[in-house]
Amino acid sequence: MPSQKEIRSRISSTISTQQITKAMKLVSATKLRKASDAIVRMRPYAEKLKGIMANLQDSIEDPQLAVYFQTREVKNVLLVVITSDRGLCGAFNSNVIKRTRQILTEKYAEQSKSGNVTLLCIGKKGAEFMRKLKYNVDATYMQTLTVLDAEKAFELGEHVLQSFRNGTYDQVEVVFNQFKNAATQILTNEVILPVTPQVKSVDAKKVMVNDYLFEPNKVQILQDLIPRSVKTQIYRAMLDSLASEHGARMVAMDKATENAGELLFSLRLAYNQARQAAITREISEIVGGVAALEG
């Protein structure tokens, strides 16, 4: 059995750890409120963009727009992998990394073997892990989530669009955690380039009104709208990931605080048992000494 001194030391360190985890939970809860508000405000805008594109997609056969919809032979792939900069958030990062490795070994096995897959890692954890596995990692935008704003996200989106337009990559896919609530994150991967036109149902075609007036014209509107939509998808994925990270960390720290409380209970019980055993032993030694003197 450990000595009383050792148990007291463990109790002290556990209390310190519990205070840290409790503080981290409160910090994550505060950040989660801000991040969840941001993604809730962002989603209607992203959905509206999709709706507008659906109304204009009858112009996608225009040669000036073909580059965004062109389905090429997939030789070079860009995977945008969104993780966090810090750990202590449960399985948040490991789930993204596992999904990324699964995509690399199954969906893009041939491209991966030939070294034609680039991982654009947003977040230190994903970049560091993938570098250890010797994957081709682009860490240019690794710290974008540190202070996330639309300008930085759109700059990254423009880089992705330009790489696709000039033929550097034939397909772009993003892997991230979609935020549902504080306790639930939905692991998601979706192809953002080439753009896939939405398939309209027969009923939707009947309901649509075709007497819109477009200024300047459909093609010029789509020339601005399609890149904006792709950038918005990337920004939305980053906001989703940020909110998911804080939710996962809050839950993880709450569980850690709870576990620390249970450990403290066990340690204090063990300390009391050791203390009682020591007192009993001392009494026995005293009684034995008195009996020896009397004898």
121 in catalytic set: no
Catalytic one among 89, 156, 242, 250? 89
- The answer to whether the beta carbons of residues 148 and 31 sit under 8 Å apart is no
Report helix, strand or coil for 186: strand
Written as six digits, the tokens of 97 are 């990394």
Q: How would you classify the pairing of strands 171-181 and 137-138?
A: unpaired
Give the C-alpha distances (Å, rounded to integers) separating 157 from 108, 193, 237: 22, 11, 11
Residues 6+ apart with CB under 8 A from 54: 198, 200
Residues 6+ apart with CB under 8 A from 89: 245, 248, 249, 252
Q: Give the catalytic positions in this structure.
A: 89
